[in-house]
Amino acid sequence: MTYEYECSVCGHECIIEQSIKDNPVKKCPSCYKPKLERVISTGGFVLSGNGWARDGYSKNLKNST
């Protein structure tokens, strides 16, 4: 998994690849202070194909029964 981090002291932003089981990284690679925090970002998961709409609801679905 890739995670985005930002330092609350110097503002350094970075992307770190790590296992989902790993603890979050705390030490900033730029200023070396323990103030690095994960940033909540949009994921790369996209639903596509028939029946899916961008907002999660489709107005054009017809009952197939």
All structural domains of the chain: 1-65 (2.20.28.10)
- Cβ-contact 38, 3 below 8 angstroms: yes
- 63 DSSP assignment: -
Single out the residue of 35, 44, 42, 32 nearest to residue 5, CA to CA. 35
> What distances in angstroms separate CA 4 from CA 20, 26, 33, 40, 57, one per listed residue?
13, 12, 17, 8, 29
* pLDDT value at residue 10: 97
* pLDDT value at residue 41: 73
Tell me the pLDDT of the chain (65 aa) as tens digits.
889 999 999 999 999 999 989 999 999 999 999 999 999 876 666 666 666 666 656 555 555 55
